[in-house]
Structure 1
């Protein structure tokens, strides 16, 4: 992918819109939409790395109510010709064509490699990667099982969405009951995952979300790990200007 002169590539993750309630997340949604409106003037591409919503599930003819401001802004940007790429997270595993068909936004269910100019990126949400977290990895296999998804869709959307939202909001990161702290490189699973990937192939940047903690870590002299943080506590994002990738904080009131 070429980046025109004066243009940039933007990355953001983990908005969890709708949590703990639609009303409580509305100010965060407005802030995110303001950021999208600001960056559209110099964006060559926008990457959203999952958990945009605290829960998202698509039935055959139904999607969750709400998020009109966000979806409308994404549609506007996509229609203007700026490519947007979406990576599903652990809170929006059950995407099934709506973003592609309605917004012209490709959706990825696994990490992907991208190259901008001569700079290589390995990009994904980050859930279930690296050592540890075996309980979640087993649970994800159930959630992504075609039979399990088929059975769940037999629930009426009013019940299915409400039930999923109830359990989703129990996430301690959203309720504020969990203090997310840096655990040291040896205990950061995504850092360990990136280091193992480098044993077989070089990437200049590994970009993930999921961790809810903005991090910039040098993996070696030529590779860096970036975690995007979130739009709950930090309002952080990353920007690539064609030469380097750095974390920034959106400061608008």
Structure 2
């Protein structure tokens, strides 16, 4: 029995090595798992389910085919780059969409899962922007704009976000511990799993006199990282980005 958590792959046509690693991961790591949780930002940018690039179609096909072949469930929490990902793509991918903060029973342990951007309160400029782009009325209007215009807006926002991110100190991009504690107390949990910060880590601390743990899943730009949970333990696994490549398998067998 295994459950896996991934986040922040930021799939795009510009990084085929990440896409290849993801497809190999699906084929090799999802054998004998119960569930795969994708905690947001699977794609670099998402402007609507009506944009269907070859990459999007390939990802949907791989998710659907692998989950049916290996008989596991896929759940998805939106990230800050793909918060417009909708029910149509989710259905095609055989995924179930979850609320931004979701409690799950992880082999008898109540666990809070989320993308993680709501934890980064020190990043005040992002939090202000987040309130704007998550406004239901603005999303309604945006979805009714021509696809070509949405593409321009989406990539403009992405470029501006990357530029601002490169200028921010690492501590601003990290989580705010007081917010971590507040949410964990609110959801009555001692275990939290998230992405967004790209700072893969396991953080152990004390919460109301009890040992608690926060897992940061990490991104896939230079390595493959994911959280694996079993009935006996929860841990982070890290591999080189080409770990699942065919030549790796040949080298191991030689």
2:96 to 94, 97, 106: 106
Task: Decide whether aligned partners of structure 1 residues 241 and 178 sit closer, same or farther in structure 2, where only a CA change above 3 A counts.
Answer: farther
Deviations for 1:131-166, whole angstroms, at most 9, x for unmatched residues? 333332222222122221222233321231233124
Q: TM-score normalised to the size of structure 2?
A: 0.83
Q: Matched residues in 1 for 2:78 and 2:35: separation?
A: 17
SS of the residue 2:11 aligns to: coil
Relative to structure 1, is the Cα distance of residues 228 and 190 closer, same or farther in structure 2, using a 3 angstrom cutoff? farther
Q: What runs of 5+ residues in structure 1 fail to find an aligned partner? A: 1-6
Structure 1 length as normaliser, TM-score? Answer: 0.83
Q: Report whether the alignment pairs 1:11 with 2:1.
A: no
Q: Does residue 75 of structure 1 match 2:64?
A: yes
Aligned partner of 1:242 in structure 2 is 231
**1:4 corresponds to which residue?**
none
Is 1:131–1:192's contact at 8 Å kept on the other side of the alignment?
A: no
Q: 1:36 to 1:250 in 2, by over 3 A?
A: farther
- Whether the aligned pair in 2 keeps the contact of 1:15 and 1:51 (CA below 8 Å) is yes
Contact 1:33/1:69 (CA < 8 Å) preserved in 2? no
Q: 1:95 to 1:200 in 2, by over 3 A?
A: closer
- Count of aligned residue pairs for this structure pair: 237
Moved more, 159-168 or 36-45: 159-168
2 CA distance for matches of 1:211 and 1:114? 22
Q: CA deviation at 1:79?
A: 2.6
Find out whether 1:196 has 2:190 as its counterpart: no
